[in-house]
Amino acid sequence: MLNMKKAIYLWTIIIMIILLPNEIHSQEKQITNAYKENTIKEISVLIKNHYVLKEKRNDIVSKLSKIYLEGIYDTINNAAKFAYQLTSDLHDISNDGHFSIVYDPSRVDELRIVDDDGEPNKEALKKLEESEKRRLEQRKRNNFGFKKVEILSGNIGYLDFRFFSGDSLAFETAHGAMAFLSNSDALIIDLRENHGGGAAMYQLLSSYFFGEEPILMGEIYNGLSDETQQFWSDPDIVRFNIPEIDLYILISKKTFSAAEEFAYDFKQLKRAIIVGENSGGGAHMATRMIINDDFYIFMPFAGAINPITKSNWEGVGVIPDVKINSDDALKRAHILSLQEILHKTTDEEYKTKLESLLQNLM
């Protein structure tokens, strides 16, 4: 039986095939068995060399070859249908819904930034540069993910953070947000609508919450280079440290990728209390890789490795310390933060104020 994520994906593919305009269909070439065999061979090479889970590479390739030899693809002569069937089979044999085989010759041309003769593809590079400029402007319009910073009642800092951007301007925005929040008695970081992003911002924000000694936060295995990169907190890249502040991180099923890593690593280090619902479960990073002139593969090539658990959250999500409907997570974290401050303080006047605030929230 198909799981829900796969069912949604495959129905999306079916609908796209049905609704594609006629001119797109007219460009689909009919493919021979020899062409299909060569395509599968190229896919197998990419998987064996670069798939994120090294221990599963040979098994996936072997099972894909077995399907081919059974003649499953013999009656499929349409390129788009062939791509659909390959995607479905790769999902089944790998149990990894990130895999996708796409028939799109024009997109393959855009991905090919180096021509067959080894020279740069100037047209593709120009399109890539223009696309990056557009994305940068979009990130700026969205304030590099920093949606809201405010001080909640009881001097609780709140940061609504939507994506991890690696732009230099984003770092300045991060420093400004942290400066505004630095006098809080506790801090809530809201990642409920955060779908991830780059490692540089992850490292920068993490570094604010530890002391002068670097802390190993996490590792990433890269199947393209066959190397593992470590990510440490770095006191030199922040303008101050707040290692003692109580920290609460809000997550939901929409929280994904780098946002999940932030929550997962802080949970394992016991540096924050995670509040909300299980996150999306995306610990693997995928990229497009050219198969041939007509097809490319979208495949996971890198994955997070937590130095404490030696594992990650792929497929299961980050499990909160305090499980609650994500819509109610902010209120719960606010209450928890005030209760903790009330427990610690010896100032009787301040205690009375905190008790009043809590009564109003509950």
Looking at residue 135, its pLDDT comes to 81
Rounded CA-CA distance 186/184 in Å is: 5
Q: Can you give the pLDDT at residue 315?
A: 87
What's the chain's length in residues?
A: 362
pLDDT of amino acid 28 = 60
Show the DSSP H helices in the chain as ranges: 4-19, 22-27, 33-50, 54-69, 79-94, 105-111, 122-141, 168-181, 199-207, 258-268, 329-344, 348-361
Domain ranges across the chain: 4-103, 144-284+301-361
At 118 the pLDDT is 60
Provide the pLDDT for residue 362. 85
The per-residue pLDDT for 322 is 98
Backbone angles phi, psi at 292, to 5 degrees: -160, -160
Number of H helices, E strands in the chain: 12, 11
What is residue 323's predicted lDDT score, i.e. its pLDDT?
97
* CATH, domain range 144-284+301-361: 3.90.226.10
Query: For residue 110, what pLDDT is reported?
Result: 79
Tell me if 167 sits within 8 A of 135, measured CB to CB: no
Tell me which H or E stretch contains 113.
Answer: none
- Predicted TM-score (pTM) above 0.75: yes
Residue numbers in the chain where pLDDT is lower than 50: 1-26
65-82: pLDDT as tens digits: 999 999 999 999 999 999
In sign, the C-alpha dihedral spanning 229, 235, 240, 243 is positive
Q: How distant, in Å, are the alpha carbons of 188, 274, 291, 328, 334 from that of 192?
A: 12, 11, 36, 11, 15
Tokens representing 207?
């570094």
Asked if residue 289 lies in contact with residue 315, where contact means CB atoms within 8 angstroms, the answer is: no
Report the pLDDT value the prediction gives residue 112, as an integer from 0 to 100: 80
Which residue reads 């499929």 in tokens? 76
Contacts of 177 (CB under 8 A, 6+ apart): 146, 149, 159
Q: Residue 134 has what pLDDT? A: 84
Rounded Cα gap, residues 283 and 310, in angstroms: 13
